[in-house]
Amino acid sequence: MNLFNMSRATFVWPNGRPTRLLGSMKAKSKPEFINAALARKKGPVSQFIAHNYRHFNAAAMLDAAKGYEAHLKAGGQMLVTLAGAMSTAELGISLAEMIRQNKVHAIVCTGANLEEDIFNLVAHDYYERVPQYRQLTAADEQALLGRHMNRVTDTCIPEMEAMRRIEGVVLAEWIKADRAGERYFPHEFMYKIIRSGKLRKSYQIDPKNSWLIAACEKNLPIIVPGWEDATLGNMYAAAVIRGDVKHVHTVRTGIEYMTWLAQFYTKTATCLKNGEGSLGFFQIGGGIAGDFPICVVPMLHQDLERRGIPLWGYFAQISDSTTSYGSYSGAVPNEKITWGKLAASTPKFIVESDATIVAPLIFAWVLGQ
Question: 115-144, pLDDT tens digit by residue?
Answer: 999 999 999 999 999 999 999 999 999 999
Q: In whole angstroms, give the CA distance from residue 187 to residue 215.
A: 10
C-alpha to C-alpha distance for 276 and 77, rounded to whole angstroms: 12
Which pLDDT band, with edges at 50, 70 and 90, does 51 fall under? Answer: very high
Q: Is 317 within 8 Å of 283 (Cβ atoms)?
A: yes
Fold of the 44-367 domain: Deoxyhypusine Synthase (3.40.910)
CB 264 within 8 A of CB 334: no
CA atoms within 13 A on the CB side of 127: 23
Q: What are the pLDDT digits (tens) for 317-348?
A: 999 888 888 888 888 999 999 999 999 999 99
- Going along 21-113, which residue ranges are E strands? 77-82, 106-109
Q: What is the C-alpha R_g of the chain?
A: 24
What is the DSSP secondary-structure string of 349-364? EEE-S-HHHHHHHHHH
Query: What does the pLDDT look like over 273-321, one tens digit per residue?
Result: 999 999 999 999 999 999 999 999 999 999 999 999 999 999 999 998 8
Domain boundaries, the chain: 44-367
pLDDT at residue 258 in the model: 98
Q: Is the pLDDT of residue 272 over 70?
A: yes
Whether 257 contacts 140, CB under 8 Å: no
Backbone angles phi, psi at 93, to 5 degrees: -60, -40
CA dihedral 144→149→152→156, nearest 10 degrees, is -100
15: pLDDT confidence band, cut at 50, 70 and 90? low
Q: Is residue 2's pLDDT more than 70?
A: no
What pLDDT score does 299 carry?
A: 98
Residue 78 has pLDDT above 70, yes or no: yes
Burial pattern 1-30, b for ≥16 Cβ within 10 A else e, equals eeeeeeeeeeeeeeeeeeeeeeeeeeeeee
Distance CA(72)–CA(365), nearest Å, equals 13
- Report DSSP state, residue 312: P
- Integer angstrom CA distances of residue 30 from 3, 26, 68, 127, 230: 25, 7, 20, 46, 47
Q: What pLDDT does 330 receive? A: 83
> How far is Cα 185 from Cα 173, in angstroms, rounded to an integer?
12
pLDDT at 25: 56
Neighbours of 41 (CB within 10 A): 9
Phi first, then psi: give them for residue 132, nearest 5 degrees: -100, 40
- pLDDT band at residue 9 under the 50/70/90 scheme: very low
For the segment 90-104, what is each residue's pLDDT rounded down to a tens digit? 999 999 999 999 999
